[in-house]
């Protein structure tokens, strides 16, 4: 059963990766014949350098149209990475102190504001589109990556605060009390004791924020208009609806799009799982 679920989940991605190394005729053949035409790097070479694949030429002339939009994928992947990293950092900078205050301190409105923050994620993103757009327009941040970083932070911060609060509560309070007896202040305790102990949960919440930001489409389309600032989901949507695009080029572009997130998430995946599971207990 587990094997069937894994195959079902990974088969589409494997198809995309393999298709990126094939000429288009290989996947248009019915049934598809991956090995008859051999593996090529032409699709990736075109995306990176602009060199037209030999498989698309006859006597040096294009046999069919090739969309230039697919060449925007590397820039879009870079833009998405910048936005996602900014979202990750802001989640840590804002979420850790807030979560520590909710976990360890008593103040007026503590319970009410905590429930308000966590319940805010129940609001559908589409319902927030117009308010966020008007706020960003009023701030003069339309078509700026900072606008998207702020929106994505607002969307992911409640989850970060919730998980960190639950994790901080698992840390024995006696450790902090001993530090206070030695003269340590709350900020110093948070920085020197709590955050190092909560590293798995910080990694988990940070990567969750990164992945959500990296793949978010609605607000990316709403606040970023120029091709130079577009993020990956918007660019891939534009490429996939272009009648000139070839599917193997689109597959190669999609594979390149996944690489930044995969390279970041894969080495520290076990920390993410441990942090989220521990924080949820």
Q: Residues 43, 248: contact at Cβ < 8 Å?
A: yes
How high does pLDDT run on average in the chain? Answer: 83
Average pLDDT on 191-208 reads 88
Does 51 fall in a domain? no
Q: What is the pLDDT of residue 55?
A: 61
Does 122 fall in a domain? yes
> Which structural domain range is residue 207 located in?
73-231+266-280
Q: What is the pLDDT of residue 67?
A: 62
Average pLDDT on 160-185 reads 88
The rounded distance, in Å, linking the Cα atoms of 189 and 120 is 29
Q: Residues 253, 72: contact at Cβ < 8 Å?
A: no
Rg of the chain over Cα atoms, rounded to whole angstroms, equals: 23
Does 184 fall in a domain? yes
Count CB atoms within 10 A of the CB of residue 221.
16
C-alpha distances in Å from residue 74, one per residue of 46, 49, 80, 107, 170: 12, 11, 10, 48, 42
Chain centroid to CA 117: 22
Does 258 fall in a domain? no
Phi, psi of 35 (to 5 degrees): -100, -15
Q: Residues 275, 202: contact at Cβ < 8 Å?
A: yes
CATH label of the domain that carries residue 185: 1.10.3720.10
The rounded distance, in Å, linking the Cα atoms of 232 and 119 is 29
Does 136 fall in a domain? yes
The rounded distance, in Å, linking the Cα atoms of 185 and 189 is 6
Range with the poorest average pLDDT among 8-22, 37-51, 164-178: 37-51
Does 222 fall in a domain? yes
Number of compact structural domains in the chain: 1
Average pLDDT on 238-258 reads 80
pLDDT greater than 50 at residue 138: yes
């Amino acid at each position: 059963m587990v094997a069937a679920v894994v195959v079902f989940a990974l088969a589409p991605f494997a198809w995309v990766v393999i298709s990126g190394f094939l000429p288009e005729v290989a996947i248009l053949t019915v049934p598809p014949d991956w090995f008859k035409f051999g593996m090529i790097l032409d699709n990736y070479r075109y995306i990176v350098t602009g060199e037209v694949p030999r498989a698309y030429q006859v006597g040096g002339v294009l046999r069919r149209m090739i969309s230039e939009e697919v060449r925007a994928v590397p820039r879009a992947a870079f833009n998405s990475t910048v936005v996602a990293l900014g979202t990750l950092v802001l989640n840590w900078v804002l979420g850790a102190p807030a979560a520590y205050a909710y976990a360890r301190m008593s103040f007026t409105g503590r319970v009410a504001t905590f429930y308000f923050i966590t319940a805010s994620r129940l609001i559908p993103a589409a319902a927030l589109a117009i308010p966020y757009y008007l706020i960003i327009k009023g701030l003069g941040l339309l078509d700026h990556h900072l606008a998207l970083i702020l929106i994505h932070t607002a969307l992911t911060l409640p989850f970060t605060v919730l998980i960190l609060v639950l994790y901080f509560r698992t840390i024995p309070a006696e450790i902090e009390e001993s530090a206070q007896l030695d003269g340590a202040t709350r900020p110093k305790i948070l920085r020197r004791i709590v955050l190092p102990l909560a590293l798995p949960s910080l990694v988990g919440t940070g990567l969750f924020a990164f992945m959500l930001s990296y793949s978010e489409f609605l607000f990316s389309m709403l606040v970023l208009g120029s091709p130079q600032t577009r993020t990956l989901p918007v660019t891939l949507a534009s490429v996939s609806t272009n009648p000139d695009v070839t599917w193997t080029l689109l597959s190669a572009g999609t594979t390149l799009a996944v690489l930044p997130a995969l390279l970041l998430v894969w080495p520290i995946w076990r920390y993410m799982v441990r942090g989220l599971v521990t924080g949820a207990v």
